[in-house]
Chains A and B, each alone.
Chain A
Amino acid sequence: MTLLSFALQSVVARPRSWVVALLALGSALLLALGLAMVAGISEGTQRSVIESGAGHFLVYNSQSSEKAVVVTGPTGAPVLVPLPDYPSLETRLRQTPGVQDVVPLEVGMAATFRGNYLDDKLSTARAVARQLPSPERNARLMRLATDLERTLRDVARDADRQTEAFLTADEARMDRAALAETTKPDFWERFRAEPLVALEYLENHVARQVGEGESIDIEYLGSDLTQFARAFPRFEMVTGSLPPEGHRGLLLGHGLYEQRFKLPVAARLDELKRELDRGALLAEDERLRTLVERAQAELPDLLARVDAERSEAARAVLERVLGHEGEPEALWREFLKLEDGNFATRHQVFYAELAPLLPLYRVKPGDTVVLKGLDSLVNGVPLKVWGTYRFRGLGGDTSRVNTLSLMDLVSARYLSGRLSPDMVEEAKRDAQSLGLDFLAEAEVDQLKPATVVEVETVPTRTTNIPDFPRARAWPDTFSATELRGGSVLQAAVVVAPDADPVRVAEVVVQQGTSASVPLATVDWEAAGGFISGVVGMTRVVLLAFSVMLCLFVVLVSAGTLLLLAQERVGEVGTMRAVGMQRRDVFGSLLMEGLLLGGLGAGVGMALSALLLFGSMGDGILVTDEALQFFMGGPVLMPRLSWGQGLGVWLGVVAVVVVASLVPAWRGSAVPPAVAMRKRED
């Protein structure tokens, strides 16, 4: 008690020692707030991952070489062994206490390819040309021919501006000649007489000259879509509708739809608007000015995709807005000269009056896209796009989770290369009948002269070319057995609100073991892959920050206390001279550190509690859509439990006490005689 009162008097008498208390206060405040933020992010990301397809945990076959995920990383989808007898397993899982829903899942990557704008136009013309002749078909074909003629004139005019770096002189000359051919009236006469022949010429000799088109990567989750929508309440359709039960189909993530399927000019305007809404200025931001330039660079593509009638309507709008007449391209170019002063008006005019005249999206609900798996043994899987969806509250169109697309499980299975039992049977039968065998591994490295067989060929014209009945190779529907009876790689388990997910996962694995079913589970953090890694990363950052802060506190506190101890050498000498023991002096100086640390950290904790439960009680608004997924929605709720608060307080006090050890030791180690002499000095 004496020590405490002695330490208290020293603290009050020396305001310089309050620096240590202030350091403790600041550290406790920062650490408590940081911890609360990380806990809030962790909880938010957990909620987001769970509610956007992962469930509370994933079940997969424990014999797999990799673990189940719902978000693929750079290495792609994991290699998983299918779950044995999924229909029975699902029934058993549903009967497990605490399980609310079980959703079969499959993750994968696919790509859809788009031609350039000429490819698209020619493809439309080809479809019309192949229809049975009728006055309507002929009239439409003529309209398309007129539009093509206009587009090709523009291509010919631009051809000289295009780089020919990748062409040999001969190739470039041939390209120019091919383009020149299309500007002659004779060509269009021939087009009218034999459209398919003329189209073939355009496709092979001209279309390539305007670019290669593009490939759009699609990260997807295969599932029972009806059940998926029911199990994950954040799921909401934005356009179109859910495929009816038993129908194959694709739901594009609305984020992906806006970023990759939208007309590039419109996508650039959206990006600019987002940035300007955040307070950026075109005049001050070079990146934004580059976006404006890129929007202008996309102009030839935009103009070529608009037909003649709509182009004229757009021209009328542009003339009215710009206040003068002109050619469409020049008007568009002027319209897209965007500045801070005119952006808002032009953006509004674009969406209100021009966008309805443009093919704003390359794919619309109801269209069919052909998806190719990155490594599957099927060439392409045609899928109807039923609409676009997003996860409500998990960020808008820039959120990573809203770029994830959904498709039915049957199509996902084909895309991954896992063929149906019928297809496997067909392959076996054909291989047997054709007598094709594989090479023994030992033979690969052997060298031996080639065997040559003499073959007689019959020099006659080939006649045995098969025809095929015109039937859809990919049916639009599938049976319930086909959906669940085929291989299922993993399933998301949603746990009831009052159940403990960890306990339920343990029970699921135990039940699997007792039934000799090899089951394993992964929690939301593993399921979220590298997205959940953000939580781990914030934890690491907080830890690193804490370590650096502690080091700083130790150094400054030790320095301050050492200085104070130096000042008190004479005082210590007097006390030692009147009989105070060295350990009492040591204890007194240590108590001083403890007092400063305890008080400072206490006030810091009180302040952080005030901030957390007072001003941040309703959470922190997160306006950046890309961050909303990690915060679990548009509001981040920092969390700090009593236990965590106590931990921070104790930690800070411990750091200050550690910092006090050296000064206390040095201060108490001075012999009384030396200390007295020092006082006399």
Chain B
Amino acid sequence: MQTSIRRLAVMFALSLAPLAPAAPKEEKAAEPKAAESKAAVSAEEVIRRVDARMALKSDFKSTVRLREKRKDGTEALLEMLVFRRDSSKDLLIYITKPRNMAGGGYLRIGRNLWEYDPSVGHWQRTTSRGNIVNTISCEEDFDRSHLLETYEVQDEGEETAAGTKFRKLFLKVRPGMEASFPQLRVWVDPDYNIVKRVGYAPSGRTLRTDVIRGYQKILDPAAENRPVYLMREVLEVEEAEGTQLTVRYDEVELAPLSPNIFTKTWLEGRFR
């Protein structure tokens, strides 16, 4: 009896399908298919879709604001402009607040990561994928998502919370790749958004827990206005010290950037 009702329902749905309004082609590709069984999608495919939803063809600029609170009550607020060109893997972080750090930043060109101290005009080569401005955030937090390239993925099944099934995946860094977190566990919602991620040390010790509170849907003009889903607000909690960081990505612009921006000379020239 049950089988025949399900069959009827499917036939009914199929008969109505031609009546549905035609959605843009690109949009369709980005949106998850409602009827698709999540379990049928492999772990690699989930991560590939997560990366794809955040992949940009346009250059990226955003004002990023960070508020950090340490266990001892110390608070800091940082504001920075993040410029990114994924096609050439260039990245520039330009600090605008607080005043004593304003004008400094980080510049990544190829395999070089430079840190600039404006008070002495000093550039320092840094290779560690360490913390940005000594907060618990790291360079990866401002870079494009390249999980599939960096990690090997293991499926850990599904976890249900408040009626929603989240895909749980365990990621282990690929040999020869560098990552701030050698191991990651991520929870992905039905729309392929990571809603939570936990970074671990090689020993398995928890390093940082992130809760992604929101995404912003933006049309990428360089990719025929394909929608991309970029993080809007992330809350990061460092396990060892109990430090908490709120990161918000405001005023995102997807538009061509001058190639001059990704040069040392540009950052040095930001002083009047």
**Closest partner residue, chain B, to A123 (CB atom):** B123
Known contacts A423-B98, A431-B77, A382 near B117 by CB under 8 Å = yes
- Measured in the bound complex, the distance between the Cα atoms of B65 and A451 in whole Å is 19
Residues of A within 8 A of B101 (CB): 378-379, 473
A426-464: contact bitstring with B at CB < 8 Å (1 yes, 0 no)?
A: 111011001011110001101111111111011111100
Given A449-B190, A473-B100, A115:B125 Cβ within 8 A: yes
Query: Closest CB-CB distance, A642 to chain B, in whole Å?
Result: 52
* Contact B76 A377, beta carbon cutoff 8 Å: yes
Within the complex, what minimum Cβ distance (angstroms) separates A41 from chain B?
38
A448 touches B162 (CB 8 A): yes
Q: Give the docked Cα–Cα distance between A470 and B102 (Å).
A: 11
Judge whether B254 is part of the interface by a CB distance below 8 angstroms: yes
Q: B255, A379: Cβ atoms under 8 Å?
A: no
Complex formed: what's the CA distance from A119 to B117 in Å?
15
Within residues 235 to 266 of chain B, which ones have a CB less than 8 A from any CB in chain A?
235, 237, 244, 246, 248, 252-258, 263-265
Known: A113-B126, A370-B117, A430-B77. A203 touches B191 (CB 8 A): no
Collect the chain A residues with CB atoms within 8 Å of residue B127's CB. 212
User: Contact between A370 and B124 (Cβ–Cβ < 8 Å)?
Assistant: yes
Q: Which residues of B contact A455 (CB under 8 A)?
A: 216-218, 252
Chain B residues with Cβ under 8 A from A205's Cβ?
A: 110
Q: How many residues of B contact A (CB 8 A)?
A: 89
Report if A448-B109 is in contact (Cβ < 8 Å); known contacts: A430-B79, A430-B98, A470-B272: no
Q: Is B214 a contact partner of A452 (Cβ separation < 8 A)?
A: yes
Name the interface residues of B155-175: CB closer than 8 Å to any CB of A: 159, 161-162, 164, 166
Q: Taking the complex as formed, is B96 at the interface, i.e. its CB lies under 8 A from any CB of chain A?
A: yes
Q: With contacts A370-B122, A462-B61, A474-B119 known, is A457 near B111, CB below 8 A?
A: no
Known: A119-B125, A123-B123, A382-B117. A452 touches B98 (CB 8 A): no
B255/A446 in contact, CB under 8 A: no
Which of B74, B75, B216, B265 is within 8 Å of A418, CB to CB? Answer: B74
Complex contact B271–A171 (CB within 8 A): no
Question: Bound state CA distance, A437 and B258, in angstroms?
Answer: 34
Contact B162–A439 (Cβ < 8 Å): no
Give the contacting residue for B265; candidates A196, A423, A430, A453; CB below 8 A: A196
Give the nearest-CB partner of A204 in chain B.
Answer: B109
Shortest Cβ distance from A414 into B: residue: B100
- Confirm or deny: B2 has a beta carbon within 8 angstroms of a beta carbon on chain A: no
* Interface assignment of A596: CB less than 8 Å from any CB of chain B: no
Chain A: minimal CB distance from B248 (Å): 6
Contact of A467 with B271 in the complex, beta carbons under 8 Å: yes
CA distance A674 to B216 in the complex (A): 108
> Given A439-B235, A462-B61, does the pair A468, B118 have CB atoms closer than 8 Å?
yes
CB of B122 within 8 A of CB of A447, answer no
Closest A residue to B216 using CB positions: A455
Check if A428 sits within 8 Å of B75, measured CB to CB.
yes
State which of B18-26, B38-46, B205-213 sits at the interface with chain A.
B205-213
Specify which of B97, B166, B215 is in contact with A447 (CB 8 Å cutoff).
B166
CA A116 – CA B120 in complex, angstroms? 19
By a CB distance below 8 angstroms, the chain B residues around A13 are none
A452 adjacent to B272 (CB under 8 Å): no
Q: Are B111 and A208 in contact (CB under 8 A)?
A: yes
Give B82-112 as 1s and 0s: 1 = Cβ < 8 Å from A's Cβ atoms: 0000000000001111111111100001111
Q: Is the CB of A452 within 8 A of B100?
A: no
Whether B216 lies near A453 (C-beta < 8 A) is: yes
A275 interfacial contact with B, CB 8 Å: no
Smallest CB gap from B271: residue in A: A470
A199, chain B: closest CB distance, angstroms: 8
Q: Check if A328 is an interface residue, CB within 8 A of chain B.
A: no
Distance between Cα atoms of A478 and B171 in the complex (Å): 50
Q: Which of A462-490 contact B (CB under 8 A)?
A: 462, 465-470, 472-474
- Closest chain A residue to B225, Cβ basis: A459
Residues of B within 8 A of A287 (CB): none
User: With A377-B135, A451-B214, A451-B215 in contact, do A427 and B166 touch (Cβ < 8 Å)?
Assistant: no
Q: Hey, which chain A residues are within 8 Å of B213, CB to CB?
A: 439, 450-451
- State whether the Cβ of A169 lies closer than 8 Å to any Cβ in chain B: no
B81 CB–A CB distance under 8 Å: yes
Question: Do B104 and A379 touch across chains, with their CB atoms under 8 A apart?
Answer: yes
- The answer to whether A438 touches B117, judged by C-beta atoms less than 8 angstroms apart, is no
Most A CB contacts (10 A, CB to CB) among B103, B119, B218 go to B119
Known A196-B265, A455-B252; contact A379-B133, beta-carbon cutoff 8 A: yes
A452 touches B216 (CB 8 A): yes
CA of A252 to CA of B253 in the docked complex: distance in angstroms? 47
The distance in angstroms between the C-alpha atoms of A434 and B162, with both chains bound, is: 31
Contact A449 B112 (CB under 8 A): no
Q: List, in ascending order, chain B residues with CB within 8 A of A426's CB.
A: 77, 98-99
Q: Which residues of A contact B (CB under 8 A)?
A: 79, 113, 115-116, 119, 123, 126-127, 130, 171, 196-197, 200, 203-205, 207-208, 212-213, 368, 370, 372-373, 375-380, 382, 417-419, 423-424, 426-428, 430-431, 434, 436-439, 443-444, 446-455, 457-462, 465-470, 472-474
19 extra A-B contacts, CB within 8 A, seeds A419-B74, A436-B67, A439-B213: A119-B125, A203-B114, A203-B123, A207-B125, A212-B125, A370-B124, A372-B134, A373-B134, A377-B70, A379-B134, A431-B75, A436-B65, A436-B246, A439-B235, A444-B211, A448-B161, A450-B212, A466-B270, A474-B100
4 tightest A-B CB contacts, nearest first: A447-B161, A439-B235, A470-B271, A450-B193
In the assembled complex, 21 residue pairs joining A and B whose CB atoms fall closer than 8 Å, in A order, are: A115-B124, A119-B125, A126-B123, A171-B111, A200-B264, A203-B114, A204-B109, A213-B125, A379-B117, A426-B99, A434-B67, A447-B196, A448-B162, A449-B191, A450-B189, A453-B214, A457-B218, A461-B256, A462-B257, A468-B270, A473-B99
Q: Which residues of B come within 8 Å of A, CB atoms? A: 61, 65, 67-70, 72, 74-77, 79, 81, 94-104, 109-112, 114-115, 117-127, 133-135, 159, 161-162, 164, 166, 187, 189-191, 193-196, 209, 211-219, 221, 229, 232, 235, 237, 244, 246, 248, 252-258, 263-265, 268, 270-272
